[in-house]
Amino acid sequence: MSIYGATKGTELEKLVSGAAQTEASGTMLYYALAKLAREQGLNDAADVFIDIANQEAVHAGFYAVLNGQYPRDIWSLVLSMQKAEEKGEGQVLEIAAKVRAMGCGEAADEIEEFAAQEKKHGVILGELLKKYAPQGTIKKEDE
């Protein structure tokens, strides 16, 4: 049985959406700790932070589903994410250029890698859409 929307519209909805937000922030915080630890050469600590961050990310997604925060029919959402990821590449490249102009070349290089990853996210999502999206999902959205 699906947990989808189990707490939506109940007295637990607020509690669960707060938990989702807290877990999402925790994901960011632990990845920041991992980055900083890595810069200090503390690779074992960084690995621990990343493991925790990944679990927090799973928790965030779990609470979002429990609250029915996203449509249950996932493919139109995937389609809009696919478009956002495609656009994301250019947006992230703009950030990289601005960071580079400020003289932070090393950070800019890494942000450019992120841009390539956003593009890849778009491509991968496109492949999934082709494989799994029901007939009409893509057409309907484009009309």
Binding stretches for Fe ion (CB under 5 A) = 23, 56, 59, 85, 118, 121
How far apart are CB 37 and Fe ion at their closest, in Å? 19
Phi, psi of 10 (to 5 degrees): -105, 175
Report how far residue 35's alpha carbon sits from residue 29's, in angstroms, rounded to the nearest whole number. 10
For Fe ion, the closer CB: 108 or 122: 122
Tokens of 58: 């799973």
Report how far residue 83's alpha carbon sits from residue 125's, in angstroms, rounded to the nearest whole number. 9
For Fe ion, the closer CB: 45 or 57: 57
For Fe ion, the closer CB: 23 or 102: 23
How far apart are CB 119 and Fe ion at their closest, in Å? 9
For Fe ion, the closer CB: 101 or 124: 124
How far apart are CB 65 and Fe ion at their closest, in Å? 15
Report how far residue 7's alpha carbon sits from residue 59's, in angstroms, rounded to the nearest whole number. 15
How far apart are CB 43 and Fe ion at their closest, in Å? 23
Report how far residue 117's alpha carbon sits from residue 84's, in angstroms, rounded to the nearest whole number. 13
Tokens of 11: 């007295």
Report how far residue 19's alpha carbon sits from residue 13's, in angstroms, rounded to the nearest whole number. 10
